[in-house]
Structure 1
């Protein structure tokens, strides 16, 4: 730094000499007239001359605070003051944090300070009297979001200068005042249970008879003015390492979209990480000052340093674990475009276990660097074992991010992993995720199946990443679903073993066999009322002779089996691809595609089957060679597996726009599998606010997460 100053002064000496006489005579004239020097002007003559010369010669090229280049396109925002002197935005933002409103070059006093929320953001908040956030009308050019002035009353809360040892400084949750009693009870979850076949020959036994068990969450209340949802505590953990320089502007816009769509009862905290992590914003309610402060924090972000994902997540977890009060819903969103450069070689760890387990997540040592509330330990103590897991929804940018780590973090915590191949769709990806998180209607959802007839046993439940257990020697089973978004569906196949009919008295006349009772319990997220739903009973006929219709498979059971088989085939192909045998991996996908197309539901023109076939084709294309697979194929596959495992929407690829492909009904375009109406609405808001370039690439197959469910 000293060397830089010497060079700068040396280059300015001729300019100082030329102006020295004029400055001295001006100073003498001022003294003769009895004008006292102000404190702000009581600087040394050399400093004054240096500032004077600097303002004419160098201020257009060099930031006067850090002496760094002001060249455009280097990944740093540039702020131009009303006196026309430019500075790095972050440099001048730091300079004015302590109330300094004087230009460092010409010493003129500024009326406008380089912080401002979007100009009409306040209006949208004041017009929103309910807990639900409305779509922001703000659609100013991107540069206007981050470089502008702000009124004096928004300067009271500045960027944090230090972190407390304990994050118990979360903003209090407002007291909930009970309104008039509703005349109607909230709608409940609906259950369905369908057998694979309507009848099984009385003399036959079935070792793997499938029963489809499904649940659907209720929609939101139709009265928008009385919109009722559970508020959320959300922590955004953002990568601001040096590699994010070219993506930071779009990241800021995407996070501002989240801020604009959170309601006044929601709370947001912002954590950034590069080589280290820092909490930039404590848990603040997104109303009034909290909303403005969140915007200021995001606008002031700059990129530099390495990538320390572990520290970022630790700090995000600390925010939620040490909060004094809790909203009903809590979640973390994690964004990164690179590998964790400070916590080991996750790719090597991932590859080293490929031959030892079907789920390498269990041996990924990297995960055990994370807090237990993200990655539960099997040998955890009593207190840790009872600790709730915080879901982390991860977003990986571009071809250089660590898809293995991002998928593993989301998978172990109960979140989803989205692959953002083009940074242009980041806001849409956020919108899809937030649309779900802001629509949780049920928590602690459990499905219970109980065998009824003697000899009927529950054999297996391929429940994806949802925990399930079979009890009492197959007489009872439980699926732990957790939370449900409004209108969200979950479907599971329960495989039973059925004995030959014994024709007990009473059954012989009826010719029926009772198989299962299906029950559901859950907590309604807004009132915390516990519901126990009456059972749905499954039975089949046991005739001595089957009719032609008795041999017809249930299409809903068949399509669900197709979904599970396709997901399993893609997972197997991915493991084979990791071993370098792409030809074998492609053969697995081709074989599954043939089986899919020959299924009853596919032959009937089922839309889900069409999209599953499109996913198999796209996955196979991304395994054409190892370079393509490592650039985009791995991330695309892992994001799809995340979607299938949790039956929850993720974003994959270049665009959220769906273009029908070969064999796909055009009427299915525009929707995404597992996507709920709340997600669709939020993505629509995002796309209205976004400027979509006509050159934006549009490719059909960027997601077989992109599916219209044909119910």
Structure 2
């Protein structure tokens, strides 16, 4: 019998044996006994119908965080924890929108169209000089391709200037000199006059390419002339938004309606500013121009779409619209380097059982890119949470990266409730909310307002002023409202 020939080709001893056997030189003897795997048991038939349900695949693990990005805009959606205790059905959802800074150092920007709609009613008598000064400072910062529109409103409204202040300085100065405080507050007429002036300017500039557009509405009092119903005023702001203008609102002093101006800014996709004293006007107007120059995306909208059986309970600190698919939150225009956060509360299904992993919510962001103004969308994968009976597992799955944001949103909630209770005359309830707030954040609140300024609010002083009523109480209520909005967003 000839000797077997073994060819070694780097496969090791086992490979050599197999090659030799394949050539017929060696009998193939298994090195290990065969592995026998028992088939999975067949699903039991339903006792009532006799049918067999299809086998369900094992669920994937929790997905407590997911990220998507496009055109320099990032959306990260997160759950407060990946595992939740059985029986604890409520869960917080956190969405953070970031806009990247460009890699190069050039300050590329669109030409600016800015409109100031100025309250010149009688109550502004002591503020007109500072208003003129703030407008001049704004005009000095406009570039050669930028445009400014000035509309004044009191009992009636009129456009007093439109163009470039440096190119037509005489007309600009004459317009400022003609601003006289008198009459009532016809806010609706001011918005109508602004819409007409801006539509006319847009027709003349149709061939000049895209522009960054912003209207800043200033008021120091209640709308008491013309149309005063909030929904009718909001419709006017929506028309301006449809023309491509974001609308910001600036409340001055203690007598204006902060809830109305805040709602108009939300509808208009702009910012809401509270200015306690006229000296603060200049910083806010400059901040609005700075935001326009850093504009990166327009008309950003966040959609929260719950999975089957999951209910969206509330969205904190933002106005939200609901429909059959979920909730829509308007985030307005986005600047380079900016960040927005939205926190919502969802309720999981009643029949969720320990060991299950459930789809919870899908977040997606829609926005218009610049300068193309095309609609873009980003959507991270659906978030999933697991149900457990182990408290340690639930606690260890908490998302530490969003803990500070959640604390700030909780502070905003307590502050908003304290303000509402104080305005309703329920002082004891307001004090209780503020005590809870101090236990959460300490003696002071710190945040950056929409103009970028760092604000520090002493909670005890705020409580004293809310209880005092009168002008102090009104100013404290407005400060509390503005602080809650800034903390929650």
Question: Structures share a fold, TM > 0.5?
Answer: yes
Aligned counterpart in structure 2 of residue 334 of structure 1, from 211, 214, 217 = 217
- 1:253 equivalent in alignment to 2:133: yes
Counterpart of 2:230 in structure 1 is 367
Matched residue SS, 2:348: strand
CA distance in structure 2 between the partners assigned to 1:385 and 1:248 by the alignment: 26
Counterpart of 2:478 in structure 1 is 635
- 1:459 equivalent in alignment to 2:312: yes
CA distance in structure 1 between the partners assigned to 2:159 and 2:485 by the alignment: 28
More strand as a share of residues: 2
Aligned counterpart in structure 2 of residue 483 of structure 1, from 307, 328, 333 = 333
Once the two structures are TM-superposed, the CA of residue 372 in structure 1 deviates from its matched residue by: 2.5
| Structure-2 change in CA distance of 1:639 and 1:519 (3 Å) | closer
- 1:561 equivalent in alignment to 2:414: no
Counterpart of 2:89 in structure 1 is 207
What CA deviation, in whole Å up to 9, does each residue of 1:312-340 have, x standing for no partner? 23211222244414654433212244455
CA distance in structure 1 between the partners assigned to 2:387 and 2:223 by the alignment: 59
Asked whether the equivalents of residues 566 and 612 of structure 1 are also in contact (C-alpha less than 8 Å), the reply is no
What CA deviation, in whole Å up to 9, does each residue of 1:585-635 have, x standing for no partner? 2333223433x25xxxx8xx99779x9994644431321311244452233
CA distance in structure 2 between the partners assigned to 1:189 and 1:447 by the alignment: 12
- 1:445 equivalent in alignment to 2:300: yes
What CA deviation, in whole Å up to 9, does each residue of 1:413-454 have, x standing for no partner? 4444323222222211222233223322112323345567xx
5 Å matches for 1:279-290? 279-282=159-162, 284-285=163-164, 289-290=167-168
Asked whether the equivalents of residues 521 and 532 of structure 1 are also in contact (C-alpha less than 8 Å), the reply is yes
CA distance in structure 1 between the partners assigned to 2:219 and 2:306 by the alignment: 47
Counterpart of 1:313 in structure 2 is 191
CA distance in structure 2 between the partners assigned to 1:419 and 1:370 by the alignment: 19
Aligned counterpart in structure 1 of residue 76 of structure 2, from 192, 198, 221 = 192
CA distance in structure 2 between the partners assigned to 1:298 and 1:631 by the alignment: 33
CA distance in structure 2 between the partners assigned to 1:222 and 1:496 by the alignment: 45
CA distance in structure 2 between the partners assigned to 1:608 and 1:276 by the alignment: 38
Counterpart of 1:572 in structure 2 is 417
Q: Structure 2: any 5+ residue segments left out of the alignment? A: 1-68, 449-453
CA distance in structure 2 between the partners assigned to 1:447 and 1:618 by the alignment: 36
What CA deviation, in whole Å up to 9, does each residue of 1:99-139 have, x standing for no partner? xxxxxxxxxxxxxxxxxxxxxxxxxxxxxxxxxxxxxxxxx
| Structure-2 change in CA distance of 1:516 and 1:294 (3 Å) | farther
| Structure-2 change in CA distance of 1:533 and 1:294 (3 Å) | farther
- 1:621 equivalent in alignment to 2:464: yes
What CA deviation, in whole Å up to 9, does each residue of 1:397-418 have, x standing for no partner? 3345555654454455444432
CA distance in structure 2 between the partners assigned to 1:248 and 1:410 by the alignment: 23
Counterpart of 1:492 in structure 2 is 342
CA distance in structure 2 between the partners assigned to 1:302 and 1:592 by the alignment: 44
Once the two structures are TM-superposed, the CA of residue 273 in structure 1 deviates from its matched residue by: 2.7
Matched residue SS, 2:89: strand
Aligned counterpart in structure 2 of residue 273 of structure 1, from 153, 159, 170 = 153
Matched residue SS, 1:535: coil
| Structure-2 change in CA distance of 1:544 and 1:445 (3 Å) | same
Matched residue SS, 2:113: strand
Counterpart of 1:230 in structure 2 is 110
CA distance in structure 2 between the partners assigned to 1:403 and 1:522 by the alignment: 28
| Structure-2 change in CA distance of 1:195 and 1:420 (3 Å) | closer
Counterpart of 1:392 in structure 2 is 247
Q: Number of residue pairs matched?
A: 407
| Structure-2 change in CA distance of 1:295 and 1:539 (3 Å) | same
| Structure-2 change in CA distance of 1:513 and 1:465 (3 Å) | closer
What CA deviation, in whole Å up to 9, does each residue of 1:430-484 have, x standing for no partner? 22233223322112323345567xx662433415334343645xxx655443421
Asked whether the equivalents of residues 445 and 459 of structure 2 are also in contact (C-alpha less than 8 Å), the reply is no
| Structure-2 change in CA distance of 1:265 and 1:642 (3 Å) | farther
CA distance in structure 1 between the partners assigned to 2:394 and 2:225 by the alignment: 63
| Structure-2 change in CA distance of 1:573 and 1:299 (3 Å) | same
Asked whether the equivalents of residues 272 and 312 of structure 1 are also in contact (C-alpha less than 8 Å), the reply is yes
Matched residue SS, 1:289: coil
Asked whether the equivalents of residues 447 and 486 of structure 2 are also in contact (C-alpha less than 8 Å), the reply is no
5 Å matches for 1:456-535? 457-469=310-322, 471-472=324-325, 478-494=328-344, 495-497=346-348, 500=352, 515-533=360-378, 535=380
Asked whether the equivalents of residues 185 and 225 of structure 2 are also in contact (C-alpha less than 8 Å), the reply is yes
CA distance in structure 1 between the partners assigned to 2:316 and 2:403 by the alignment: 16
* Structure number with higher relative contact order (C-alpha < 8 Å, ≥ 6 residues apart): 2
| Structure-2 change in CA distance of 1:537 and 1:617 (3 Å) | farther
